[in-house]
Amino acid sequence: MSGATAPGGLVTLGETMGLLTPTETGPLQQVTTLRLGIAGSESNVAIGLRRLGAPATWIGRVGGDELGDLVVRELRAEDVTVVAIRDTAPTGLMLKTRRTDAITTVRYYRAASAGSHLCPADVDEDTIRSAAVLHVTGITPALGDGPAAAVRKAVEIARAAGVTVSLDLNYRSALWDTAAASAALRELVKRSDVVFAGEHEAALVVDGSTPQHLAANLAQLGPRQAVLKRGPAGCVAVIDQAPYQQQALTVRAVDPVGAGDAFVAGYLAELLAGKPPAERLATAAATGAFAVTVPGDWEGLPRRDELDLLTATDPVIR
């Protein structure tokens, strides 16, 4: 274990994997070159926060292998504080392929991985208590009993310490069934202050005939801030009982994976900066748009001085 959190920032926990991505579009068996990187919803958010100037700490397990070394190195290179527990199991692997320009397929090789061995003992109380925001996702509880217990412990520590709890539902059907996910996510929503979800994810937890209705019903479970991510359709939110809507920015999408994490990072960075709801949502829309313009889960995340580039009316030469 290494690292210590910067007070007042974000702390998150979960699995970060090695990522293999073909450099060409088409059937995987005909691809000649793969690019190696890393990916993980929680670490994507941590990187996004750091690029926008907010402190961020990532907690997780990695294998004592070169993929584990890569995860730690890449996160530290992005100035994320890393609390990495080395495990005897291998680091998980993610394979992302593009069958056509419009179809992206993601496959996971994470059963019995180091990240799936995350447990409550890995969650340091002082690290959580010193944060301003604890961010968790619905992915980690789906990895097994240990990761689920680790998330519950982190959330309870944060709630007792007055730390804002942020939750991205991030439902992964390959990891658990709908019934189990619905019950577990509903309990996490009740214990969260800020909740992010896609429309289909929100429908696992609450009823609602419209996106605004879904957001309002999520907020009724307890969170003061409920945000529905709608991709190219923008987002809707209920924040402190008031409705909000934000349009998406029009960009040419290169890789859609990671857009939701980028959106969350933009919103939470502005929340930490004390910005009003409309500004949080506007930045979230910008960071989400930036993410899809570049291959990779997090590589396209913007720095703060770049946020206005996508709305520039004249050609920008820097």
Measured from the Cβ of residue 69, the count of other Cβ atoms closer than 10 Å reads 15
Positions annotated as catalytic residues are 261
How many whole angstroms separate alpha carbon 312 and alpha carbon 318? 12
Question: Closest Cα to residue 37, out of 257, 252, 305?
Answer: 257
Question: Closest Cα to residue 75, out of 297, 316, 223?
Answer: 297
Beta strands (DSSP E) in 16-80 are 17-22, 34-39, 56-63
How many whole angstroms separate alpha carbon 219 and alpha carbon 305? 33
Alpha carbon distances (Å) from 200 to 90, 95, 97, 294, 306: 32, 24, 24, 26, 31
How many whole angstroms separate alpha carbon 166 and alpha carbon 169? 10
Structure tokens at 167: 């939750």
How many whole angstroms separate alpha carbon 134 and alpha carbon 14? 12
Structure tokens at 317: 């030469």
> Tokens 């396209």 label which residue?
300
How many whole angstroms separate alpha carbon 37 and alpha carbon 19? 5
